[in-house]
Chains A and B, each alone.
Chain A
Amino acid sequence: MAEFSTSVADKGEVSTIYLKGFLDAHTAPMLENTFSGLVDNKKYSIVVNFKDLAYISSAGLGVFMAFIEKVRENEGDIKLSAMSDKVYNIFDLLGFPLLYEIFKTEEEAINKFRENKNLES
C-alpha cells in the first residue's frame, strides 16, 4: 500500500517537493530522505507543495524543523504551499506560520524566491 510518496521537480533555481498521502511517524523518514537528497546536492531553495497531502502528524512536522536551519544557513529557505485547511490548521496550532512562509499556491512560493533573488542582484 503506497500510503505516502514524494516527488521532486526542479524549476530553475527552485526545487519543489510534492507530497502525497499520509505523512506520519512511519512515512516521515521518506520525507527526510527527500530533503537530505536536496541538501546533499546543495539545493537550498525549496518549495513544498501540499496539494495532495491528506494527513500530517507531528512526526511529519518535525521533518520541516529538522532541515530549516541547515537550509537557511546556506541562504535558502523552505517555503510551504497549497495546504488544505485541515493540514494548515495543524501547522497553525503549533505556531509554524511564525517560522515558515506559507503560500496559497506553489507559483506564489516560487515567485517569492525569484523576487528575493532579483532584489539581491
Chain B
Amino acid sequence: MKAEKSKLKKDRLEIKSRTENLAEIREFINSAAAEVGLSKETIDNIILAVDEACTNIIKHAYKYFPDGKIILNLKTDKKTFTIEIIDFGKSFEPGLVPNPDLKKYFDEKRVGGLGMYLMKALMDDVKYTSFPGKFNQVLLIKNINSNGR
C-alpha cells in the first residue's frame, strides 16, 4: 500500500523549545486526535506522552535554550496514530535512563526520569533515533483498536 497523504486538517506543528508552548502542543494533539476519533481517555494519554517528550527535549536536548526548533508530525492509518517529534539539540540515549524506582527517587530526592516512564506506560510504542549532527527523532505510537478507539 502506498503512503497516503495525511487526511488530518493539520498534521504538522513547528514550535520553539519553550515550556510556555506546551499548552499549544497539547491543544494541537487534542484537536488532531479527536479528528481521528480516538476516545477521550486515549487522547488524554497521548497528550500527556507528547507533553513529556517535548518537556524532555526542552530540558535535556536544548537545556532550556528558548529558540530551539521542535517539529511535530502526525501520521495516521487504519491501525496506528503516530506522533513524530523532531529536535536539533543534544542527542539522547534512552538506554541510559533506567526505569525509575520511586522509593529510590524519594530517598535520593531525584525527580527526573518519571516522564520517560510515563511515555512508555501510556503509549503502545516509543522509539528514539538519533541522527548525529542532524536531528533526533522520537516516535510515539498508539494502536487504534478495531472499534476505532
Residues of A within 8 A of B (CB): 1, 3, 22, 24-26, 55, 57-59, 61-63, 65-66, 68-69, 86, 90, 93-96, 98-99
Given contacts A68-B106, A98-B102, contact A62 B112 (CB under 8 A): yes
| Cβ–Cβ contact A24 & B115, under 8 A | no
Report the tally of A-B residue pairs with Cβ distances under 8 A.
70
| Cβ–Cβ contact A26 & B19, under 8 A | yes
A61–B105 Cα gap in the complex (Å)? Answer: 12
| Cβ–Cβ contact B20 & A58, under 8 A | no
A3–B23 Cα gap in the complex (Å)? Answer: 9
Query: Is B15 an interface residue when CB atoms closer than 8 A count as contact?
Result: no
| Cβ–Cβ contact B115 & A95, under 8 A | no
Interface residues of B: mostly helix, strand, loop or mixed? helix
| Cβ–Cβ contact B121 & A57, under 8 A | no
Within 8 Å by CB of A62, from B41, B103, B114, lies B114
B107 to chain A, nearest CB (A): 9
Can you sample 29 A-B contacts with CB below 8 Å?
A: A3-B23, A22-B23, A24-B22, A24-B23, A24-B55, A25-B22, A25-B51, A26-B19, A55-B48, A57-B48, A57-B52, A57-B115, A58-B114, A58-B115, A58-B118, A61-B111, A61-B114, A65-B110, A65-B111, A66-B109, A69-B106, A90-B48, A90-B118, A94-B100, A94-B114, A94-B118, A98-B102, A99-B103, A99-B106
A1–B10 Cα gap in the complex (Å)? Answer: 24
A37–B7 Cα gap in the complex (Å)? Answer: 50
Residues of B within 8 A of A25 (CB): 19, 22, 51, 55, 58-59
Query: Is B84 an interface residue when CB atoms closer than 8 A count as contact?
Result: no
Query: Is B117 an interface residue when CB atoms closer than 8 A count as contact?
Result: yes
Chain B residue with minimal CB distance to A4?
B23
| Cβ–Cβ contact B102 & A95, under 8 A | yes
Q: Could you list 4 further interchain pairs (A-B, Cβ under 8 angstroms) beyond the known A22-B23, A26-B22, A98-B102? A: A58-B52, A94-B118, A96-B102, A98-B103
Closest A-B pairs by Cβ, 6 of them: A62-B111, A26-B19, A58-B114, A58-B115, A95-B102, A25-B55
Within 8 Å by CB of A86, from B19, B22, B44, B58, lies B44
A109 to chain B, nearest CB (A): 20
